[in-house]
Structure 1
């Protein structure tokens, strides 16, 4: 798969997840939270498992272990978003969870001792400033939902990094399917423990569930696992810059959510920080290529 196809795949993923905030808000308005997640990921697992059942025949203990860990992380991410949407807007949620693009390189430094680039620091400072404008009210306090959505961004970054390690050792599609299955299983257990599980009762609820299951889960999570075979986790995280934009556009079109002037400025800083980080990273790669051009096979490097 060439880089253009991978970029298109990631673009479709970000578009799907941009819509997911609206569908989760629709579903959580009338369904209990873990019940919603159990149905979303359970249906996604059944669909992907039936399509790619041959892949599941060859899985080993390593893949199952990674799937369980990823399922637990993703449940934490989605639960934070669903509960967060109770006290924050769809637009805010999209921008705050979109900070995944900043958290991926930061966590890669902490967990894998990767060097933190200047581009990442610059982008993070701008984005954090934007968060303040976007979410702080006149009392200089965050809404509880804002904090949960930021936590979801951290969890999503962790999911990307663990997935990147998992697909190096296992079949990428099998990893995606297993993560869906474990997320659904854990959510179902919590739903039976703390809620009264039920199937959707209206066409609106079924629309939200099926959209979340088939598009935002079955397609997006499998596509993400596949894309990590071709690009690094940090690069994938940076390419998710468009997710909060899609979330805000969706919220504006379908539910008429509008940010305040302060909110728009904060959102601009968040996206600006993300895109600036990506641009500085690109400039660095170009500079390295110009400084150390690729030599013909067998030729000695001048610096040698």
Structure 2
């Protein structure tokens, strides 16, 4: 939904809409009858404000694209909450393998559908294949492995707020590698996101046995 939605909306708007998962995660947790703390809700809202300033979602966007990217934010939030529930019950590597296999299966079906382009884009350049490998191995497999493992110490709300640092890192990499400069408003947004992360990290320890420490099972 995110990849398809980005055909219809600007990158900055897509980044902000995807970042709405920061707020959706506490709402889902609340719906599951586990009340988040006021500090967590406050940090989530602060991160959302920072994302707005950082992304500057003033770009154009078609309604279909907005709906698709919002669906992506919802799916991200659901995945994070479900992974939190399962992280203490199953092996980390096994859960990650199931997630990545599901992605591969569904993406393969979509690729074989009419207009999907096929499983192997033989016309793609070497740079495109390198991008696929970096995203598939680094941003997906290793990223979700690290996320699932960290759920043994953090909860889904804290991780969703940490995820809001993604555009901050992207801006820093773009500054160093591509010499792209952020506006003053963008830097303010980045500082607000960092403040939200620091706020939630200084909260009082939770009395939650499911996140009291690493489990005995092998990762």
Q: Do they fold alike, i.e. is TM over 0.5?
A: yes
Tell me, yes or no, if the aligned pair for 2:47 and 2:161 is still in contact at 8 Å: no
1: CA distance between counterparts of 2:82 and 2:112?
A: 28
After superposing the two structures, state which structure 1 stretch, 171-180 or 125-134, moved more: 125-134
Structure 2 residue 121 is the aligned partner of structure 1 residue 199? yes
Deviation at 1:230? 4.1
Unaligned runs of 5+ in 1: 1-78, 289-304
Instruction: Work out which of the residue numbers 67, 75, 89 in structure 2 matches 1:155.
Output: 75
Paired residues in the alignment total: 201
**262 and 230 in structure 1: CA distance in 2 versus 1, 3 angstrom threshold:** closer
* Structure 2 counterpart SS, 1:169: coil
Structure 2 residue 29 is the aligned partner of structure 1 residue 108? yes
Structure 2 residue 24 is the aligned partner of structure 1 residue 80? no
Aligned equivalent of 2:214: none
Deviation at 1:245? 1.7
1: CA distance between counterparts of 2:49 and 2:160?
A: 19
Deviation at 1:259? 3.3
**209 and 255 in structure 1: CA distance in 2 versus 1, 3 angstrom threshold:** same
**265 and 150 in structure 1: CA distance in 2 versus 1, 3 angstrom threshold:** farther
Deviation at 1:180? 0.5
Instruction: Work out which of the residue numbers 87, 94, 106 in structure 2 matches 1:167.
Output: 87
Tell me, yes or no, if the aligned pair for 1:126 and 1:273 is still in contact at 8 Å: yes
**106 and 84 in structure 1: CA distance in 2 versus 1, 3 angstrom threshold:** same
> With structure 2 as the length reference, what TM-score do the two structures score?
0.72
**142 and 102 in structure 1: CA distance in 2 versus 1, 3 angstrom threshold:** farther
Unaligned runs of 5+ in 2: 208-219
Higher Cα Rg, which structure: 1
Higher relative contact order, chain-length normalized (CA < 8 Å, sep 6+)? 1
Structure 2 residue 142 is the aligned partner of structure 1 residue 222? no
Structure with more helix by fraction: 1
**247 and 94 in structure 1: CA distance in 2 versus 1, 3 angstrom threshold:** farther
